[in-house]
Amino acid sequence: MDVIEIIKVSKDSLMSNKVRSFLTMLGVIIGVAAVILLVSIGEGARTYIHRELGNLGTNILIVVPGKTSAKGGFHPPEASTVRKLIYDDALLIKRRAKHVDDAVPLMFGSAKVKYLNQSRDNSIAGSTETYFSIRNLKVDSGRFITGSEVDAKRKVCILGRTVKRDLFGDKNALGALVSIGDSKYRVVGVMEKKGVTLGIDFDDIVFIPTTAAQELFDTDRLFNITIKVKSASELHEATEEVKQILIKRHAGKEDFTVMSQDEMLGVMNKILNIMTAVLAGIAAISLVVGGIGIMNIMLVSVRERTREIGIRKALGAKNSDILLQFLVESMTLSLIGGTGGILFAGTVSFIIPYFIEFLPTQLELWSIVLAFLFSAAVGIFFGVYPARKASLYDPITALRYE
Amino acid sequence: MISLKDIKKSYVLPKVTVEVLKGIDLEVAEKELVAIMGPSGSGKSTLLHIIGCLDRPTSGTYILHDLDVSLKTDNELAEIRNREIGFVFQSFNLLPRFPAWKNIELPLLYSGVLAKERKQRAMEMLRKVGLSHRAEHYPNELSGGEQQRAAIARALINEPAIILADEPTGNLDSRSGREIIDIFRGLNKEGVTIVLVTHEKEIAEQAARIITIRDGVCQDGCY
Ligand SMILES: Nc1ncnc2c1ncn2[C@@H]1O[C@H](COP(=O)(O)OP(=O)(O)O)[C@@H](O)[C@H]1O
Ligand SMILES: [Mg+2]
């Protein structure tokens, strides 16, 4: 039978009940859009994390005190049994490890930062001269800490953009003396705008030499040791090296954790994959519910058109002609719904980043294809029963139907 | 060409079994115009449905064109309805959502004729029944007589050898009724076999032969 004619007839019958057809499609539209959108958000989040981590430098290992497992989640180190990491640990790694370019002893804390009558409680990072290049951070004016300033415990600081603006406004900050805690620090640099990366607002940090930070916070306990490995291929060897060096220093105990950014990525990827799968699965259920809506409406339609079925059969329509007719109709519903869902999801995922800055979306072709095929399958699966029912009507009974 | 032997038809209802046709023997020759009469409920429509391959008898044999219909599959019956038989109903049975010409081309849709030829032939048929000016009208925009003429055009479009009409004038005023009967007579002259159910005596008298059915048995005219 003429397929074009079948499609025309289903178009006519769907158009003759516009609201009903639309509401039926809505179920599929929502289901398909939900699948595509959730996948696109999941993928977007993944790319976001990859990019942000890349932004913060590559080939980086981080040593933190306490034995934790990157696979099992993070536990707070138990202070009594865990030996702290200190400045000399970093120095030793830098000197001994062949695969390591640099090791930065990093301290982190907060203190009152004051200039004239402006003051704010601020995050303070103690680092050495190479931290900026390792972390891809840049100064906008001035310079970063130098090696000799670190060695000499010089009280110099680099201000994040927000800190600078709050304390100095439009005035020049370079060369000025700010008080951090009880001491005066000379501003030698102002950071370039970096924004929030992985939850850390780099514009809101003041950098000082680690040696000065030890004095400021009155401790030699490091926040972590940030290590730059020579190349990506050496990450594994570097990790082993760092472990051996520290275990020896810590009386044979591995009471610290060496994490690579790749490992962290792996963990996050895993979490994201599970989340995406679960959410897309839930969305797929809504697609199935949409399919049930189609079946429901098709059953109504078959009943309403009983007489039409009888007439068509009396004029020579075979069971298969009637079956095809209704199947095409339910598929039209689901495919138009599917296409609508794709367009809707495309629009929304295009718009989302404008409203939610940290939620980049990434339309995935595979999710679009999958959602479309799934909606087609839904149309067939939920259309077969009503269509079969229609095709099996006895012509005389159908003609007598009022 | 139509030969019924001891045709019985009963409907099995939840409580009783209704025997509607109780053994009908009937022959209709090629190019005949036959009228079937009988009181309401006597089984005329049931008989016509069986002749039209819309329904199967409970027992008995029906030979159409030398072929035993009871041996045919449902699909083969659909094909016979499509090509050999044109059915005209009392209530027209046009599809309300389609204009006249679309209704008329329907049988061609199921015999695989392409869209262009379908429309062309539908227009031809409309001309033949004098409805050219109503081609784009929907059934509810047509008078009863016009609707029945459209239905006849639909029955004729596949050039069937047999036209079966079940009280085709039952819903029409007498003038429209006469027009319809004139069309049938014209067709019969062209060589179409026509079986017409009616309970109007004057219409039946236009036929060469009148068959009378009563209580599911043939009372007169069955040979
Ligand atoms: N599908 C059916 N189920 C039960 N009874 C039926 C059915 N079709 C017809 N009948 C009965 O068969 C009898 C004859 O019907 P019908 O052939 O339509 O009569 P007529 O056309 O002569 O008025 C009626 O009593 C009717 O109620
Ligand atoms: Mg009747």
| pLDDT score recorded for residue A312 | 95
Residue type, A250: H
Sketch the domain layout of chain B as residue ranges: 95-159
Residues counted in chain B: 223
DSSP secondary structure letters along B79-107: HHHHHTEEEE-TT----TTS-HHHHHHHH
Asked if B21 contacts B80 with a C-beta cutoff of 8 angstroms, the reply is no
Of A41, A73, A224, A247, give the one whose Cα is nearest residue A134: A224
d(CA B136, CA A137): 75
User: Once rounded to an integer, what is the mean pLDDT over residues A198-216?
Assistant: 89
The sign of the dihedral angle between the CA atoms of A193, A194, A195, A199 is: negative
User: Once rounded to an integer, what is the mean pLDDT over residues A216-242?
Assistant: 89
pLDDT tens per residue across span A45-64: 888 888 877 777 888 888 98
Of A110, A135, A107, give the one whose Cα is nearest residue A121: A110
Residue type, A312: R
User: Once rounded to an integer, what is the mean pLDDT over residues A243-248?
Assistant: 90
Q: Which helix (H) or strand (E) holds B190?
A: none
Q: Which helix (H) or strand (E) holds B208?
A: none
Q: Kindly state the percentage of chain A with pLDDT values over 70.
A: 96
| pLDDT score recorded for residue A71 | 46
Q: Is B39 in the pocket of ligand 1 (CB under 6 A)?
A: no
d(CA A40, CA A371): 12
Of B101, B53, B106, B73, give the one whose Cα is nearest residue A321: B106
Q: Which helix (H) or strand (E) holds A318?
A: none
User: Once rounded to an integer, what is the mean pLDDT over residues A260-279?
Assistant: 83
Statement: residue A82 has pLDDT above 80: no
d(CA B108, CA B117): 9
Max mean pLDDT among A348-352, A373-377, B161-165, B169-173 falls in: B161-165
Asked if B61 contacts B6 with a C-beta cutoff of 8 angstroms, the reply is yes
pLDDT tens per residue across span B3-18: 999 999 999 989 999 9
Q: Is B43 in the pocket of ligand 1 (CB under 6 A)?
A: yes
Average pLDDT of chain A is: 87
| pLDDT score recorded for residue A75 | 52
Residues 6+ apart with CB under 8 A from B156: B86, B125, B128, B163, B187
d(CA A381, CA A376): 9
Q: In what order do the strands lie in the sheet with B67-68?
A: B17-28, B2-12, B59-64, B67-68
Q: Is B214 in the pocket of ligand 1 (CB under 6 A)?
A: no
Judging contacts by C-beta atoms under 8 Å, the chain A residues touching residue B114 are 2
Q: Kindly state the percentage of chain B with pLDDT values over 90.
A: 82
In this structure, what token pair is assigned to residue B144? 């009863």
Statement: residue A77 has pLDDT above 60: no
Statement: residue A283 has pLDDT above 90: no
Of A306, A311, A310, A340, give the one whose Cα is nearest residue A34: A340
Of A143, A162, A144, give the one whose Cα is nearest residue A204: A162
| pLDDT score recorded for residue A1 | 66
Asked if A212 contacts A154 with a C-beta cutoff of 8 angstroms, the reply is yes
Using 50, 70 and 90 to split pLDDT, how confident is the model at A368? confident
| pLDDT score recorded for residue B124 | 95
- The pTM assigned to this predicted structure is 0.76
Cα-based angle B88, B91, B93 (whole degrees, multiple of 5): 70
Asked if B49 contacts A396 with a C-beta cutoff of 8 angstroms, the reply is yes
Give the 3-state secondary structure of A90-132: HHHHHHHCCCEEEEEEEEEEEEEEEECCEEEEEEEEEECCCHH
Contact B89 A312 (CB under 8 A): no
d(CA A276, CA A45): 10
Interface TM-score (ipTM) > 0.90: yes
d(CA A164, CA A175): 13
Q: Does A318 touch chain B (CB under 8 A)?
A: yes
| pLDDT score recorded for residue B3 | 93
User: How crowded is the C-beta side of A252, counted as CA atoms within 13 Å?
Assistant: 0
Q: Does B84 touch chain A (CB under 8 A)?
A: no
Using 50, 70 and 90 to split pLDDT, how confident is the model at B151? very high
Asked if B162 contacts B86 with a C-beta cutoff of 8 angstroms, the reply is yes
Q: Is B198 in the pocket of ligand 1 (CB under 6 A)?
A: no
User: Once rounded to an integer, what is the mean pLDDT over residues A113-137?
Assistant: 89
DSSP secondary structure letters along A184-243: EEEEEEEEPP--EETTEEGGGEEEEEHHHHHHHHT----SEEEEEES-GGGHHHHHHHHH
| pLDDT score recorded for residue A72 | 47
Residues in a beta bridge with B12: B17
Statement: residue A3 has pLDDT above 90: no
User: Once rounded to an integer, what is the mean pLDDT over residues A111-129?
Assistant: 90
pLDDT tens per residue across span B28-71: 999 999 999 999 999 999 999 999 999 999 999 999 998 999 89
Residue among B55, B74, B106 whose CB faces A315 most closely: B106
Q: Does A46 touch chain B (CB under 8 A)?
A: no
pLDDT tens per residue across span B168-204: 998 889 899 999 999 999 999 999 999 999 988 888 8
How many CB atoms within 10 Å of residue A250?
Answer: 17
Q: Whose CA is nearest to atom 9 of ligand 1?
A: B46
The rounded Å distance from CA B166 to ligand 2 centre is: 7
User: Once rounded to an integer, what is the mean pLDDT over residues A372-400?
Assistant: 92
In this structure, what token pair is assigned to residue A84? 């702290």
- DSSP-based three-state secondary structure for A354: helix
User: Once rounded to an integer, what is the mean pLDDT over residues A18-37?
Assistant: 90
Residues 6+ apart with CB under 8 A from A5: B109, B115
Statement: residue A211 has pLDDT above 70: yes
Statement: residue A70 has pLDDT above 70: no
pLDDT tens per residue across span A162-190: 999 989 888 898 999 999 988 999 999 99
Of A37-46, A302-311, B85-94, the range with the lowest mean pLDDT is A37-46
**Is the model more confident about A255 or about A380?**
A380
Statement: residue A232 has pLDDT above 90: no
Strands (E), A285-387: none
Query: CB pairs below 8 Å between A and B: how many?
Result: 67
- Mutate which of B10, B16, B18 to test ligand 1's pocket (most atoms within 8 Å of Cβ)? B18
Residues in a beta bridge with A226: A62, A104
d(CA B218, CA B62): 16
| pLDDT score recorded for residue A76 | 54
Q: Is B90 in the pocket of ligand 1 (CB under 6 A)?
A: no
| pLDDT score recorded for residue B5 | 93
Q: Which helix (H) or strand (E) holds B213?
A: strand B209-214
Ligand 1 nearest atom to the CA of residue B167, by list position = 21
pLDDT tens per residue across span A132-154: 888 888 888 899 999 999 999 99
d(CA B55, CA B77): 9
Residues 6+ apart with CB under 8 A from B1: B28, B29, B30, B64, B65, B161, B162, B193
